Amino acid sequence: MTNENNIDEPVILQSPTDLEEWRIKLVGKTIVDGDVQVTEQTFHKRDLPSCNRVLGPNTPATRDYIIDRLNVITDDQGRVTTVYYC
């Protein structure tokens, strides 16, 4: 971004502001994929933001920082325990 003096200024990136909405929608539910019918206890993977990853226990993951990537963490039963952006 360039200011009024034509000097480049750093762009400050901010995490998306909808994290609490995703927590309410996902925590306690199981993420499903494919032709599975969604119930009150499940949430379909296709309805997550396009930039996402679902990580279970012992799931390998890169440590790169992608500010708008929603990380969905599940327990060993596949239930969502937490969500965060990075």
Which amino acid type is present at position 60? P
| Residue whose structure tokens are 């990580």 | 55
Class of domain 19-85: alpha beta
The 10s digit of each residue's pLDDT in 10-53 is 655 666 889 999 999 999 999 999 999 999 999 999 999 999 99
The model carries a pTM of: 0.80
CA–CA distance, 40 with 62 (Å, rounded to integer) = 31
The 10s digit of each residue's pLDDT in 43-86 is 999 999 999 999 999 999 999 999 999 999 999 999 999 999 99
The answer to whether 67 and 85 have CB atoms below 8 angstroms apart is yes
